[in-house]
Amino acid sequence: MNAKLSILFYAKRAKTTTDGLVPIYIRVTVDGERIELSTKRYTHPDKWSVEGSCMKGYSGEAKSINSFLDSLKAKVYDYQQQLIREDELVNAENMRNKILGIDKRSHMLIGIFQQHNDEIKALIGKDYAAATHVRYETSLKHTEDFLKWKYKVSDLDIRKIDHEFITSYEFYLKSVCNCCQNTTSKYIKNFGKIIRICLANGWIQKNPFINYKSKMVEVERAFLSMEEIETMLNKVFVSDRLNLVKDIFLFSCFTGLAYADVKKLSRKNIAIGVDGDRWIYINRTKTDTRSNIPILPIASYLLEKYEDHPQVVNQEKLLPILSNQKMNSYLKEIADACGINKELTFHIARHTFATTVTLSNGVPIESVSKMLGHKNLKTTQHYAKILDLKVSNDMQILKEKFGNGTQLKIKQSAG
């Protein structure tokens, strides 16, 4: 049912100025409920027609003001139709917001994105890692730059985000930002979280991602072979700093801990496990999932080696770790010195634990997944896919069975 709407202009004599002029007001009545707002126009009381709801005469001033009032009246009727099209109630409050240019349904993308990032920042160390905040800040910057590149605006009403927006954003990340497929997918995924927030709050009704598909390209994860691990273990550097970085990297190779987890490792993370030996019990910084890891002899040796180090004693940590940037910088020197022809980063130690140290030595993938703190087995299976040696060893048993004739008897044809 359509709301009953009427419009009246009147001169408000109670607000006469010192110059003797009166302001012209608009009164919009919606189903008996009034809105009264100033039109920002003034006239002399004697020039105002109460009956005509307009200025008297045909002077230039009268024509100008009356034309403005007619235009404003037409806008009010347009606002009524807008509310109907937007499936909003045609009532006094909504009409007032339309006239004043206040759209209560309008939510801006960058403002929502920034609020999301501010909330993550406030929860660093509780629900999120600092790296997560950095990641979303980078995503926000890419989104801001995309809006300027594509739409020439600094912000955008989220209701204008559609399938074309998503595909254009993907193109921008790949072409202008020169991001690879996987990096692009990660930024789009981050942006998708903002869209899910908008959907959950009812700020948008249709998901712009509904017909969009993005896939991650399988990337071969680098890891050290056992020979490369042995080479590094036996390498002694003149520089204490290089020896330290090497040892901490190897500690991660034999525990599977990421840099952030090694950094926060303290005595409270060590306890006696079900087998009577020492275990590491820690919640992963990245996902807050639990990792329970038996301490292998080499890892135990490295912990004992640094237990009297000043940084370990003063900060109550288990290892005197440097910044991630410095660790990765020194690891490149270590790789060159050890003849390891790989782009060595600290995270490769985690891959090495998953592949060379555990899966290649027959540790079940379920156990490896639990020690790595993966939330699902699918993540761990990425490591298993690249282990041709493990496949070869597994199949060797089968080859021997078929080779000695225990499984199949081949009937020789008569000559």
Q: Contact at 8 Å (CB) between 333 and 242?
A: yes
CATH class of the structural domain 226-397: mainly alpha
What pLDDT does 128 receive?
Answer: 82
Among 7-11, 37-41, 232-236, 358-362, the minimum mean pLDDT is found in: 358-362
Mean pLDDT, the chain, whole residue set: 87
What is the maximum span of the chain, computed from C-alpha positions, in angstroms? Answer: 130
Top mean pLDDT of 78-92, 205-219, 249-263, 310-324 is at: 249-263
Residue 159's H or E segment, with its range, is none
pLDDT score at 405: 54
- Partner residues linked to 37 by β-bridges: 26
3-state secondary structure of 91: coil
55 close to 46: Cβ distance less than 8 angstroms: no
Q: pLDDT-derived band of residue 404, with 50, 70 and 90 as boundaries?
A: low
Question: What are the contacts of 361-370 at 24+ separation with CB within 8 A?
Answer: 368/256, 370/291, 370/292
| 2 or 406, higher pLDDT | 2
CA-based R_g, the chain, Å: 35
* Contacts with 343 (C-beta within 8 Å, 6 or more apart), sequence order: 222, 332, 335
- Residue scoring higher pLDDT (89 or 154): 154
pLDDT at position 336 over 70: yes
Q: What is the pLDDT of residues 283-330, one digit of tens each?
A: 887 777 888 999 999 999 999 999 888 888 888 889 999 998 999 999
Per-residue model confidence (pLDDT) at position 187? 95
Whether 359 and 377 have beta carbons less than 8 Å apart is answered as no
Asked if pLDDT for residue 387 goes beyond 70, the answer is no
Q: What is the pLDDT of residue 82?
A: 85
pLDDT tens-digit readout, 152-161:
888 888 988 9
DSSP designation for 355: I
Q: What is the pLDDT of residue 385?
A: 60
pLDDT score at 246? 95
Binned at pLDDT 50, 70 and 90, residue 105 comes out as: low
Residue 83: per-residue pLDDT: 84
Residue 407 has pLDDT above 60, yes or no: no
Is residue 409 predicted with pLDDT exceeding 60?
Answer: no
**All residues at 6 or more sequence positions from 232 whose CB lies less than 8 Å from its CB, including other chains:** 224, 246, 249, 250, 334, 338, 340
For the beta carbon of residue 90, count every other beta carbon within 10 angstroms.
Answer: 20
Q: What are the extents of the domains in the chain?
A: 5-100, 109-200, 226-397
- pTM attached to this predicted model: 0.59
Question: Considering only 186-200, 360-374, 381-395, which range has the smallest mean pLDDT?
Answer: 381-395
CA 156 – CA 146 distance, rounded (Å): 11
Which of 108 and 409 is assigned the larger pLDDT?
108
**Per-residue pLDDT at 86:** 75
Average pLDDT over residues 46-61: 92
Could you read off the pLDDT of 158-212 as tens digits, one per residue? 988 999 999 999 999 999 999 999 999 999 999 999 999 999 988 888 899 998 9
Pick the range with the lowest mean pLDDT from 180-189, 333-342, 357-366, 406-415.
406-415
Rounded Cα gap, residues 143 and 165, in angstroms? 11
Are the C-beta atoms of 256 and 353 separated by less than 8 Å? yes
